[in-house]
Copies of this chain bind each other. A is one copy, B any other.
């Protein structure tokens, strides 16, 4: 099972690399997009803090996401200095459409009780990954933390 986990993560990383190469976005760009997708629209500055990059670098991140048609810049009507970045339509979903469909098809072949077990495991596995990531990251500097 530990081997399976390793293979799964390798396959996931390879997939993300392929998506990135296909769309002209980096791994960081994709993480930023996922962050927006999960959290909702964010200002450029907030995005910078969240992903640990300088504001200058974030401009590049947004440029690439916009060019790939995955996100959109909008002026904040409340504060016209601010730029609000929004994931377009379901830009992420569109890119991942083939994967989502195949995964849905796969999962539908299991009984409802089995699907329950799988979803539960995946949820907890995500927590484990986040915790381990935090453990690795802490101690290293990040520009936002200074």
A interface with B by C-beta (< 8 Å): 1-2, 4-19, 21-22, 27-28, 30-31, 34, 37-38, 92-93, 96, 98-100, 102-104, 106-107, 110, 114-115, 117-119, 121-126, 128-133, 135-137, 140
Q: Are A106 and B124 in contact (CB under 8 A)?
A: yes
B residues less than 8 Å from A96 (CB atoms): 6
* A43, chain B: closest CB distance, angstroms: 21
Q: Are A133 and B15 in contact (CB under 8 A)?
A: yes
Contact partner, A126, options B11, B98, B118, Cβ 8 Å: B11
Return 27 A-B CB contacts under 8 Å, by A number.
Answer: A1-B107, A1-B119, A4-B119, A4-B122, A6-B92, A6-B100, A7-B38, A7-B126, A8-B12, A8-B129, A10-B31, A11-B125, A11-B129, A11-B133, A12-B12, A13-B30, A14-B130, A15-B132, A17-B27, A17-B31, A19-B136, A22-B140, A99-B132, A106-B128, A107-B121, A117-B117, A117-B118
